[in-house]
């Protein structure tokens, strides 16, 4: 029996519940929203894109790929004007002549040993190559990731289409009934889930309609799967899941058809001779007008994606790149302590470029102190929309930290709450790591976090 179960989160994207860990993979408020707000937006990708020949990204705990998909979506959308110009990729273009002198100098200085020589001519036209290494131990989920649906929530329809057509109606319940009836016609198998989404969405109007997955991303990811796995990608275990009603209802029929097509003809053959026709027949007609004129192969060539299926502690020792951006999106530290230890973060440190950053959703003093123990500068991820700090950022370069920890937060890191996990050989079991910290906690001479907070409260100077 599988140890996970798909479900819809409140922004309409799909989340997963792990029976083994008794925990969710994603925030209940929205898997896609979390990917954008805690990882993509604060990554500073806008300051790197098309200013470096290559941008290296490490996605730790890839899962079903929301962080990678959202990042790819941002990159494709940012390059729309180039991707719609089919002459752009055939040679020099007047559109980007202003880049030439600057980029030629930067290209010679920055191209690493991992550069794609075929791509080097394209960067002279101003586009960065995006290398993404995805680490996860659950191969089944990784393989399924491009097959999951991209959900457009009823709330998005309400915010755009419904007010325009039914502006004369003021009643929420009448609008809801109209859309439910329409949804039941077009999505009869998912009527229950759609109705649930309507209720969730109307209770959570803060969700940003711009948080979405570009319609090309899953096709690019699926091609990457075939590049890495060949016909072994669509093995019997994946075919079985596709047939299971409980899971298949979360999967995209067009993506499944595309996977089967590649499996039957062979990806290399289909890519060379039949891809354009197939893509047109399967999904091109359903794309929004925004994407119809995009050169698909040009968009695909922007990315070099590789999947490492193993314990991340082993995989991190096999990767060769220095990363500009690291997404650390592991299960909470009490459930997956092996991915939050001082020693594991030390391995990430070795693969972090001088201006690279690590992003994580965690705000805990323990995790922040783990970064500090590795001589990283540590700060907070600020969300302007909610006016809250929603995660942690760590970097080698102090200038990368816009919102550093304040005195109160630094002090909390030096209490028992900040005692980190240790995994000296990077091979301890979860139980051993937890027991080791518990031992250190019991024998610590540090002030307790509760006493520290009480003292600071009495002083009336929390620096929050």
Q: Where are the alpha helices (DSSP H) in 359-419?
A: 365-373, 407-413
Rounded to whole angstroms, the Cα distance separating 301 from 9 reads 32
DSSP bridge partners of 133: 58, 306
Instruction: Provide the token pair at 453.
Output: 């907070």
In this structure, are residues 354 and 397 in contact, taking their beta carbons and an 8 Å threshold? yes
Average pLDDT over residues 345-362: 97
Mean pLDDT of 106-119: 40
- Residue predicted with more confidence, 452 or 182: 452
**Statement: residue 355 has pLDDT above 60:** yes
Nearest in space to 54 (alpha carbons), one of 35, 73, 75: 75
Q: Residue 448 above 80 pLDDT?
A: yes
- pLDDT tens across 8-19, in order? 777 777 777 776
> Which strand (E) or helix (H) includes residue 57?
strand 54-60
Give CA–CA dist 401/163, Å, rounded.
41
Place of tokens 């250190």: 440
Would you state the pLDDT for residue 169?
Answer: 43
Please say whether the beta carbons of 110 and 53 come within 8 A: yes
| CB 180 within 8 Å of CB 194 | yes
The pLDDT-based confidence of 249 (bands split at 50, 70, 90) is confident
Output phi, psi for 290, to 5 deg: -65, -30
Extract the runs of DSSP E, i.e. beta strands, from 267-322. Answer: 303-309
pLDDT at 180: 55
Do 37 and 360 form a contact (C-beta atoms < 8 A)?
A: no
Residues 257 and 251: their CA atoms lie apart, in Å, by 11
Quick one: tokens of 128?
């960065």
Alpha carbons within 13 angstroms on the beta-carbon side of residue 17 total 9
Residues 6+ apart with CB under 8 A from 143: 225, 229, 233, 238
- DSSP, collapsed to helix, strand or coil, labels residue 400 as helix
Q: pLDDT tens digit string along 19-67?
A: 666 666 656 567 888 899 999 999 999 999 999 999 999 999 998 999 9
For residue range 425-442, list pLDDT tens digits in order.
999 999 999 999 999 999
Q: What are the CA-CA distances from residue 348 to residues 62, 277, 423, 428 (Å)?
A: 16, 43, 14, 18
- Using the predicted structure, report yes or no on whether residue 92 has a pLDDT greater than 50: no
> What is the helix, strand, coil percentage profile of the chain, to 5?
50, 15, 35
Closest alpha carbon to 387 in 37, 28, 13: 37
Residue 438: count other Cβ atoms within 10 Å of its Cβ.
11
Query: What percent of the chain stands above pLDDT 70?
Result: 68
β-bridge pairing 23-24 and 14-18: antiparallel
Determine the 3-state secondary structure of 311 from DSSP.
coil
pLDDT higher than threshold 60 for residue 356: yes
Instruction: Extract the tokens encoding 401.
Output: 């930290």
pLDDT of residue 24: 65
Could you give the 3-state DSSP secondary structure of residue 49? coil
Question: How confident is the model over 130-163, as pLDDT tens digits?
Answer: 999 999 999 999 999 999 987 654 444 444 444 4
What is the spatial distance between Cα 295 and Cα 80, in angstroms, rounded to a whole number?
Answer: 10
Evaluate if residue 196 carries a pLDDT over 80.
no
- The domain locations on the chain are 20-149+215-308, 154-203, 330-459
Give residue 297's pLDDT. 80
| pLDDT score for 172 | 52
Tell me the pLDDT of the chain averaged across its residues.
Answer: 78
CB neighbours of 85 closer than 8 A, spacing ≥ 6? 93, 95
């Amino acid at each position: 029996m599988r140890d996970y179960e798909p479900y819809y989160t409140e922004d309409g994207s799909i989340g997963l519940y792990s029976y083994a860990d008794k925990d969710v993979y994603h925030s209940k408020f929205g898997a896609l929203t979390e990917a954008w707000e805690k990882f993509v937006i604060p990554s500073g990708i806008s300051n790197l894109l098309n200013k470096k020949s290559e941008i290296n990204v490490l996605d730790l705990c890839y899962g079903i790929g929301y962080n990678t998909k959202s990042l790819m979506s941002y990159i494709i959308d940012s390059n729309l004007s180039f991707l719609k110009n089919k002459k752009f990729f055939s040679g020099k273009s007047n559109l980007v002549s202003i880049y030439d002198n600057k980029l030629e100098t930067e290209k010679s200085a920055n191209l690493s040993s991992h550069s794609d020589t075929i791509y080097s001519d394209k960067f002279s036209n101003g586009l960065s190559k995006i290398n993404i290494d995805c680490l996860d131990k659950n191969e089944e989920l990784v393989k399924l990731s491009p097959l999951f649906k991209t959900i457009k929530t009823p709330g998005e329809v309400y915010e755009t289409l419904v007010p325009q057509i039914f502006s004369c109606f003021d009643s929420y319940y009448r609008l809801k009934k109209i859309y439910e009836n329409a949804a039941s016609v077009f999505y009869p198998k998912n009527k229950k889930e759609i109705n649930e989404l309507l209720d969730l969405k109307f209770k959570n109007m803060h969700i940003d309609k711009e948080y979405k997955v570009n319609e090309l991303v899953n096709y690019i990811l699926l091609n990457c799967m075939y590049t890495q796995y060949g016909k072994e990608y669509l093995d019997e275990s994946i075919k079985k899941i596709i047939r299971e009603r409980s899971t298949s209802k979360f999967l995209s029929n067009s993506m499944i058809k595309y996977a089967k097509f590649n499996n039957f003809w062979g990806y290399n053959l289909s890519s060379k001779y039949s891809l354009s026709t197939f893509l047109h027949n399967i999904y091109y007609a359903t794309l929004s007008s925004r994407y119809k004129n995009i050169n698909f192969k040009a968009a695909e060539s922007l990315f070099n994606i590789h999947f490492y299926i193993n314990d991340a502690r082993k995989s991190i020792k096999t990767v060769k790149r220095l990363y500009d951006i690291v997404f650390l999106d592991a299960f909470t530290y009490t459930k997956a302590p092996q991915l939050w230890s001082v020693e594991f973060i030390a391995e990430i440190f070795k693969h972090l470029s001088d201006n690279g950053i690590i992003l994580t959703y965690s705000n805990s003093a323990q995790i922040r102190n783990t970064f500090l123990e590795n001589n990283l500068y540590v700060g907070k991820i600020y969300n302007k929309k909610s006016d809250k700090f929603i995660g942690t950022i760590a970097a080698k370069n102090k200038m990368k930290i816009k919102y550093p920890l304040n005195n109160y937060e630094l002090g909390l890191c030096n209490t028992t709450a900040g005692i980190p996990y240790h995994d000296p050989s990077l091979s301890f079991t979860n139980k051993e790591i937890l027991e080791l910290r518990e031992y250190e906690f019991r024998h610590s001479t540090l002030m307790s976090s509760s006493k520290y907070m009480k003292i600071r409260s009495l002083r009336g100077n929390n620096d929050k």
